Homo-oligomer: A and B are copies of this chain.
Amino acid sequence: MSAQPGSGPQLSRGEFGLLLLGLLGRCEMYGYEIVAELRRSTEGAIDLPEGTVYPALRRLERDGLVGGHWVEMAGGAPRRRYYRLTQEGERALATGREDWLRFKSAADAVLGS
Contact = CB atoms under 8 A, between A and B. Distances in A.
Contacts of A15: 11-12
Q: Classify the interface of chain A: helix, strand, loop or mixed.
A: helix
> Number of copies of this chain in the oligomer?
2
Contacts of A42: 106, 109-110
Interface residues of A, number: 37
A96 B42 CA distance: 18
Contacts of A11: 15
Given A12-B16, A16-B12, A104-B104, A110 B7 contact: no
Interface of A: 7, 9, 11-12, 15-16, 18-19, 22-23, 25-26, 38, 41-48, 96-97, 100-113
